[in-house]
């Protein structure tokens, strides 16, 4: 049972925030994909610079790992944002996926893609789940 009482204005504000965030995440993921494809194309054509010092190679590897981690985080957030938009569409937005109680208006305004109430989120984090 969904007891979260969002006004129409709040619901529209949250929908707009989620849509805007979705578009930004898609743009960021697209940029990472283009960069990856550019590097792969350059490598296949032998256009990459000669490997530098071990320090340069380590820095390049670290930057690549950070980029990959950021892309993974962005992808996970995109999944959560799309799921929130689906919950809005099916009427279950604002309902805790664990206990069925209200996530709470304040929590949704702070974290529009939240799926759990504070109590259930705390339990999930203690178990190691996000």
Domain 8-45+53-126 class, CATH top level: mainly alpha
Q: What would the pLDDT profile of 12-28 be if each residue is shown by its tens digit?
A: 999 999 999 999 999 99
Residues 115-125, mean pLDDT to the nearest whole number: 95
What angle is formed at CA 105 by the lines to CA 104 and CA 110, rounded to 5 degrees? 100
Q: What is the pLDDT of residue 61?
A: 81
Residue 2, pLDDT above cutoff 60: no
Residue 59, pLDDT above cutoff 60: yes
Q: Is the CB of residue 84 less than 8 Å from the CB of residue 108?
A: no
Residues 53-76, mean pLDDT to the nearest whole number: 84
The mean pLDDT of the chain is: 87
Give the DSSP letter string of 64-127.
HHHHHHHHHHHHHHHHHHHHHHHHHHHT-TTB-TTT-SB--HHHHHH-TT--S-HHHHHHHHHT
């Amino acid at each position: 049972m969904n007891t979260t009482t969002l006004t129409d204005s709040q619901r529209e504000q949250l929908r707009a925030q989620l849509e805007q965030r979705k578009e930004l995440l898609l743009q960021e993921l697209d940029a990472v994909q283009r960069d990856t494809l550019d590097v792969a194309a350059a490598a296949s054509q032998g256009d990459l610079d000669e490997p530098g010092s071990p320090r340069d190679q380590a820095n390049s590897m670290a930057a690549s790992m950070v980029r990959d981690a950021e892309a993974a985080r962005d992808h996970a957030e995109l999944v959560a944002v799309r799921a929130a938009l689906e919950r809005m569409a099916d009427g279950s937005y604002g309902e805790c996926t664990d206990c069925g109680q209200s996530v709470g208006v304040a929590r949704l305004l702070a974290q529009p893609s939240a799926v759990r109430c504070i109590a259930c989120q705390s339990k999930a984090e203690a178990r190691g789940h996000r």
